[in-house]
Structure 1
Amino acid sequence: MTTKKTSYSLTKDDIQPTLVAMTLPMLVGMITLMTFNLVDTFFISMLGTVQLAAISFTFPVSFTLISLSIGLSIGTSAVIAKALGAGSLTEARTDGQVALCLSALLVAVLAVLGYVFTVPLFTALGADTDTLSYIRQYMDIWFCGAVLLVLPMVGNAVLRASGDTKTPSIIMACSGLVNAVLDPILIFGLGPLPAMGMHGAAIATVISWVFGSALILYLLVKRGLITTNWIKPILLLSICRKILRIGLPAAGANMLTPLAMGILTAIMASYGAAAVAAFGVGARLESIACLVVLALSMTLPPFVSQNYGAGLMSRVQQAYRLCARFVMLWQFGIYLLLAVLAYPVATLFSDEPEVIRILCQFIWIVPLAYGLQGITILTNSSFNALHLPGSALVLSLIRLFVFYVPFAWLGGKLYGITGLFIGCVLANAFTATLAWRWFNRAVVRNLQEVTA
């Protein structure tokens, strides 16, 4: 088997090389997209402080639609991969068409509501009159194109469900590149094109979505991964229920993380501005340090769903345990690297001694548990892949609001900021232990049902 293949037989090919070959292109795509998003923020920051504040206000609202899109893509991947694993290509193609239509409809409804209630919504979030004018310039266009945000995400989920992660990574990278190239041209103007400021930033984003949507739809139709036939209303509703049964809890679980981080930020605020600044930088470092885990959390679920559909639960268990072991070793290596580079990294983000001191503490303590956190993330995505969205949602709730926030708060009360960071580590240890046992028990139960 070579890694030049576009897609893989998830129920037949060797587990380790298949997962490696699927994860590497997804990792490259995520790194590229993240880089382009940073470029996007950089260009907007050049407009001024008020404009940067305006774009910051949009994050909670845009993240709501993005979370819904992510949830729908998770539901889509789980449903289609299971059908493909069971050998039901016609069912998978029909599921793909319904997923795209359903996702577009739901996001369109939320986008219309957002457009109509932009002023009261962002006023409630604390935006003043000056900032609100820039928010309107950006979000009015963003809402109008929001349907084109969800199509590439769900379409990529269809491709991943079929075992192809290389094409989605290319689409992600190309869409980000289109946005990054158009940003300076449309924001600041070039030749006959006038400077459009915030309008230009939003237009660049929507054009990148148009590119991604057109490309993904073309590929899905060309490869025969979606049908274009008329679907009877009864079947349509049945498929919608299948997708939403997994997609809505997954979307809800995605929304829990920023809520928990908001609470932790408020706790950090009691220790002063330096603590908040250091924690904010630490959170951004975490997203980079855990990129491999996030990539695996997108490639493992199609593997799990297809083998679940094929009744090959032993392959599910082997893949899960293989990924868990790898994540523990990989993230420990990342921890050692961060621990050695803690001070130089901290000085890159601040020249204030107190911020540097707290950030170094964060780096020396919190990343120690990133491997354990990775097990929880993989378990959560695997539960969705096994069509157990309730278990995934409950696990997220337990991780964040039974362990993470309470342990961090208690550690802070007992031993200050150092105790808070230790609380985060202990919370990840408890959650990972629970997640490991819970998932393996679910697999064993399913194996017994298959052999019974």
Structure 2
Amino acid sequence: MHAPIPPNPLLVDPILPTLTRLSLPNMISMLAIALVAVAETAYVGLLGTAPLAAMALVFPMVMLQQTMSAGAMGGGISSAISRALGAGLMQRAEAVAFHATVIGLGAGLAMFIAFLAGGPWIYRILGGSGDVLGQALLYSNTIFFGAVSIWLTNTFASIVRGGGNMKVPSATLLVAAALQVVLGGALGLGLGPFPRLGMLGIGLGQVIAFTAAALFLAGYLMSSRARVRLSFSQKLSREIFFDILRVGGIASLSSVQTVLTVLIVTALVSRFGDEALAGYGIGARLEFLLIPIVFAVGVACVPMVGMAVGSGNIPRARSVAWTGGLLAAIIVGVVGIVVALAPDLWGKLFTTNEAVLAAARSYFAWAGPTYFFFGLGLCLYFASQGAGKIIGPVLAQSVRLITVALGGWWLTATNAPVWQMFALVGIAMVVYGLAAAAAVYFVRWGKLA
């Protein structure tokens, strides 16, 4: 007689310890990726003012690609795989892995073509001209030349996470981040035997690092070590494409809205002068570093929620969502309270200009206490991906965008002071968190066909 197969730990183990165990590897790798952006900014700063301005133009597009491939579509992939595993359908999980690879390849090619052809128009709209535009195009064309590698890396990582394994993708991304820092600095600044390639070299560092990561993860998924194996002897199925895209495709709208929100706030604050804009930039930089923390908890929620939904255990799925949401909210909420009470702990890392520090203090005083709601909303967005019920949290992001756009228009029309603009950012975070919580609370979760 064969010994009985033990139950999947993600379906039976205590929720909070399991979430913590799954989140920690993700948190380390995501923070490393965030710190790469800081290192690259330092490299570009050494190249001159025009390259630094060029990077500011391209950065929102790089962030859009990362959030779409890792968070939005990646969540849809992990959700479909974990729900299949929860229902005991291994063949379907492996079919999802193949279809996800096709989507990642197609999306990477589409982004490469879109930014190669439309880059000049996009960066002119954002204010680029002259040498700044030329540097932006050089950096953008290099980065998006590697779009397929970035999409496939995040696709493969999401497949592995869907099976409940967080260590392999986290370790791979951590190594890729280190490689990107080393290669970007060496090729961009001409360190050691390498030529000084400027923005081209910094972009190549990312392309090479993610290409290596994609190849490693592909090899892992095709080996016997992977729980869900990648096989190319699959037939294409419209239904499986739909299962991934009805979560990942809709979730991608949230990524677009996030970038639009950042661009709108930046444009609104810029009318108050360089000091106010720099102060807001200091605050936005901290928020950028907080997103990986929420992402780490959120992507741990996806397979736990997905497997629970796939097995029909909806109460456990909801408990995972609320536990993860509160965990992420408390972590970033504590950070928000600290910077609201002692903003110079963060602000003086970047400047000693008193006018800029005053703007940063004002921003943190209004936005810091609302980070709790931002963390709650973003984590519930990921948990909803696991359940396959993503429309509500995406609409919550829409409400945030509308709040910023309409509120900003009204404040501009009434010549309101800059602190009211910062207060609007905080209000929008509260609205987002409450709307996402309402979506999870009121929307019925059930086992999907």
Following superposition, the deviation at residue 177 of structure 1 comes to 0.7
CA distance in 2, matches of 1:279, 1:154: 33
Q: Structure 1 153/273 Cα, relative in aligned 2: closer, same or farther at 3 Å?
A: same
Kept after mapping to 1: 8 A contact 2:247/2:388: yes
Distance in 2, matches of 1:31 and 1:331, equals 13
Q: Match for residue 279 of structure 2?
A: 278
1:300-339 → structure 2 map (5 Å cutoff) = 300-339=301-340
Find the residue that maps to 2:349 and give its secondary structure.
helix
In 1, the alpha carbon distance for the partners of 2:268 and 2:124 equals 24
| CA shift for structure 1 position 140 | 3.5
How many residue pairs were aligned?
Answer: 437
Amino acid at match of 1:12: V
Structure 1 partner of 2:213: 212
Q: Distance in 2 between matches of 1:274 and 1:39?
A: 23
Counterpart code for 1:230: S
Return the offset for 1:388: 1.9
| Alignment partner, residue 94 of structure 1 | 95
Amino acid at match of 1:212: A
- Alpha-carbon distance in 2 for matches of 1:229, 1:140: 30
CA distance in 2, matches of 1:416, 1:224: 56
- AA at the equivalent of 2:436: A
Match for 1:317: what amino acid?
Answer: R
Structure 1 window deviating more from structure 2 (198-207 vs 404-413): it is 404-413
Query: 3-state SS of the aligned residue for 2:195?
Result: coil
Quote the offset at 1:360 in angstroms: 1.0
Distance 1:43 1:353, change over 3 A: closer
| Distance verdict in 2 for CA 1:188–1:369, change over 3 Å | closer
Offset of residue 404 of structure 1: 4.2
- Alpha-carbon displacement from aligned partner over 1:239-280 (angstroms, at most 9, x marks no partner): 222212222211111111121122222222333322221111
Separation in 1, partners of 2:216, 2:95: 20
* Aligned residue in 2 for 1:225: 228
Shift of 1:153: 0.5
Mapping 1:289-368, distance limit 5 Å: 289=290, 291-368=292-369
Q: Which runs of 5+ in 2 are unaligned?
A: 1-7
Structure 1 unmatched runs, 5+: 1-7
Report the Cα offset of residue 136 of structure 1: 4.2
Q: CA deviation at 1:72?
A: 1.9
- Identify the residue that residue 429 of structure 2 maps to in structure 1: 428
Q: Could you tell me whether the CA contact under 8 Å between 1:80 and 1:96 is conserved in 2? A: yes
Cα displacement string for residues 27-78 of structure 1 (whole angstroms, at most 9, x for unaligned residues):
1111112122321222222222222223333224434433442322121111
What letter is aligned with 1:370? Y
Structure 2 Cα separation of the partners of residues 426 and 72 of structure 1: 28
TM superposition score normalised by structure 1:
0.88
Q: CA offsets, 1:90-116, max 9 Å, x none?
A: 100110011012211222133124324
Matched AA of 1:56: A
Question: One-letter code of the match for 1:308?
Answer: V
| Greater alpha carbon shift after TM alignment, 405-414 vs 418-427 | 405-414
8 A Cα contact 1:380 1:396, kept in partner: no
Structure 1 runs, 4 residues or longer, greater than 6 Å off: none
CA distance in 1, matches of 2:116, 2:142: 9
- Deviation (angstroms), 1:120: 4.4
The 5 A counterparts of 1:196-275 are 196-222=197-223, 223=226, 225-233=228-236, 235=237, 237-275=238-276
Alignment of 1:172 with 2:169, yes or no, is no
- Return the alpha-carbon distance in structure 1 between the equivalents of residues 371 and 264 of structure 2: 20
Decide whether aligned partners of structure 1 residues 430 and 201 sit closer, same or farther in structure 2, where only a CA change above 3 A counts. Answer: closer
**Structure 1 partner of 2:86:** 85
After superposition, give the CA deviation of every residue in 1:415-449 in whole Å (9 maximum; x if it has no partner).
Answer: 6333333333333334433332331222xx346x8
Question: What are the superposed Cα offsets for residues 355-382 of structure 1, whole Å, 9 maximum, x if unpaired?
Answer: 2222112222211111122221122222
What is the aligned partner in structure 2 of residue 11 from structure 1? 11
- Structure 2 partner of 1:3: none
Offset of residue 307 of structure 1? 0.7
The answer to which of 92-101 and 45-54 deviates more is 45-54
Q: Distance in 2 between matches of 1:116 and 1:178?
A: 29
Partner in structure 2 of residue 56 of structure 1: 56
